[in-house]
């Protein structure tokens, strides 16, 4: 009996030792994995000195009157400004003075500002972003609450335009609306829009996205 009891205690002690060793090994593996993950996350941070990836702009867009521009000169907060394009097509910027912006792309304006600022700042890095597009507009005429010209922003559709104009007046012919669009070759196309069908889910393709200078007519 004494021999059996001694053997039993031996095996219990051996099992406890193995269990403790396995727990220690698992903890070490978890610590190593955590350190590896932290290292990988740290190496993945590629934002650099600027902190965030700069917002890109459409290189083909042509700046117009009333557009709002965010101009950033790296490490020069006194010069960096958000400015509107005035009715004469110009903007005012510290050190650069009066600068023609209308008719230029953001990239062209960046190069022009860099050239002007080079007399005051060593190797200026200029970024121009069009924050608000107000120069490109569409028109809505006829039996709506607020006819007129509206800026194109966020890719508005015909339905969006009707909502912006305050909806229909009492005697609007909601089945006979149309959009007039000037084509690149100078001709004009006419696209029908049946509001009654649209709200029933019919002919949804007629709810086109508007382009600059489109005119919506609500008879």
Distance CA 178, CA 92 (A): 41
| pLDDT one-digit tens code per residue, 148-199 | 999 988 889 999 999 999 999 999 999 999 999 998 888 999 999 999 999 9
Rg for the chain, CA atoms, rounded: 33
Distance CA 127, CA 111 (A): 9
pLDDT of residue 39: 39
pLDDT of residue 58: 64
**18 pLDDT tier (thresholds 50, 70, 90):** very low
Mean predicted confidence (pLDDT) in 123-146:
95
pLDDT of residue 218: 98
What is the fold, at CATH topology level, of the domain defined by 137-218?
A: Outer membrane lipoprotein wza fold like (3.10.560)
Distance CA 114, CA 140 (A): 40
Residues 6+ positions from 145 with CB-CB distance below 8 Å? 165, 166, 167, 168, 169
Q: Which residue has the tokens 């569409």?
A: 138
Beta bridge partners of 179: 191, 216
Q: What pTM was estimated for this model as a whole?
A: 0.59
What is the fold, at CATH topology level, of the domain defined by 68-132?
A: wza like fold (3.30.1950)
Distance CA 105, CA 201 (A): 40
Share of the chain above pLDDT 70, in %: 73
């Amino acid at each position: 009996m004494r021999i059996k009891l001694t053997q039993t205690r031996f095996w219990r002690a051996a099992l406890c030792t193995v269990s403790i060793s396995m727990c220690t090994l698992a903890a070490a593996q978890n610590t190593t994995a955590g350190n590896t993950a932290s290292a990988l996350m740290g190496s993945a941070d590629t934002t650099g000195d600027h902190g965030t990836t700069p917002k890109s702009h459409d290189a083909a867009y042509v700046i117009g009157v009333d557009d709002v521009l965010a101009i950033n000169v790296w490490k020069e907060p006194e010069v960096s400004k958000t400015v509107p394009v005035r009715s004469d097509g110009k903007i005012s910027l510290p050190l650069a003075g009066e600068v023609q912006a209308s008719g230029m792309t953001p990239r062209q304006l960046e190069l022009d500002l860099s050239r002007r600022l080079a007399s005051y700042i060593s190797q200026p890095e200029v970024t121009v972003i069009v924050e608000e597009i107000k120069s490109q507009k569409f028109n809505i005429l006829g039996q709506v609450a607020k006819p007129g010209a509206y800026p194109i922003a966020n890719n508005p559709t015909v339905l969006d335009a009707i909502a912006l104009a305050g909806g229909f007046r009492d005697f609007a012919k909601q089945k006979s609306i149309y959009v007039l669009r000037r084509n690149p070759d100078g001709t004009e196309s006419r696209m029908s829009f049946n509001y009654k069908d649209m709200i029933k889910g019919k002919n949804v393709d007629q709810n086109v996205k508007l382009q600059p200078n489109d005119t919506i007519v609500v008879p």
